[in-house]
Amino acid sequence: MSTLVTVSAVDAVAAAIRASVLDGTLTPGTFIRESQVASEYGVARHTVRAATQRLTSEGLLRKARNRGVHVPELNAEDVVDVFRLRAALESEAVRLLVKARSTPAEAVAASARLDALAPDATWDEVVEADLAFHQGVIAATKSARLARAYATAQSEIELCMVQLRPHYQDPAQVAAEHRDLLKSLTSAKLDVAERAFRRHWQEASDNLVHTLHPSGHHTPVHAERS
């Protein structure tokens, strides 16, 4: 007999709102109305409040004084800060994997998924495979604490990628980038891998900053090693 996984009403509402934010249904700047959400899902307002508090802690919602919570409109500083954290965590994973000469199986599988995407693949499909690649890199370190820290940042990383949608038009472009990253990891040369991943983080950050603020200035997301 199969075992059902029971989730609380707070978990269910949080998951529903999270999905709507990350698939773009709830656009940046949209306020979450407790009464409306409570009515839609047939739950109490305090359940919605607990769910939105959880999503605020993840960075997917933001609280405005006397106005409730809303989907954040990312600015250049937000983007750079998210990618700075991502770079710090992934750079340590890259160092560990190259040192151990370890090939991340989950990242290999995700790269194959990106390669197999059709030219008209949805952005959600691209994002799912892209995230799986980077999660695979982290998972391959077998560091529970590194994985936990990355999971904490994951929602904001994904939010950034959702808002990158206008920049990437061709899934083949994303697939090619990740083939290069995988090749750099298996080169057994730390400087090669670090350079490839730094370029990937910086280009993603620059593209998003440009998408949000076409006249914005460039800000590095990482510090070069001496």
Q: What is the mean pLDDT of the chain?
A: 87
d(CA 217, CA 168): 20
pLDDT at 214: 61
Nearest CA to 188 among 114, 71, 69, 102?
Answer: 102
* pLDDT for res 170: 82
Residue 1 has pLDDT above 60, yes or no: no
Q: Of 211, 115, 198, 216, give the one whose Cα is nearest residue 161.
A: 211
Tokens 């707070």 belong to residue: 10
Domains belonging to the chain, first-starting first, are 9-70 (1.10.10.10), 76-212 (1.20.120.530)
Q: HSE on the CB side for 53, CA within 13 Å?
A: 7
**Which amino acid type is present at position 137?**
V
The token pair that represents 2 in the structure block: 């199969």
Query: What is the average per-residue pLDDT within 93-115?
Result: 95
> What does the pLDDT look like over 11-69, one tens digit per residue?
999 999 999 998 888 988 999 999 999 999 999 999 999 999 999 998 999 998 878 89
Contact call for residues 171 and 127 (beta carbons, < 8 A): no
Please report, for residues 50, 74, 98, 204, 215, the alpha-carbon distance to residue 54 in angstroms, rounded to integers and kept in the order given: 6, 19, 36, 27, 34
Give the ranges where the chain is alpha helix by DSSP (H).
Answer: 9-22, 34-41, 45-58, 76-100, 105-116, 123-139, 144-163, 171-185, 190-212
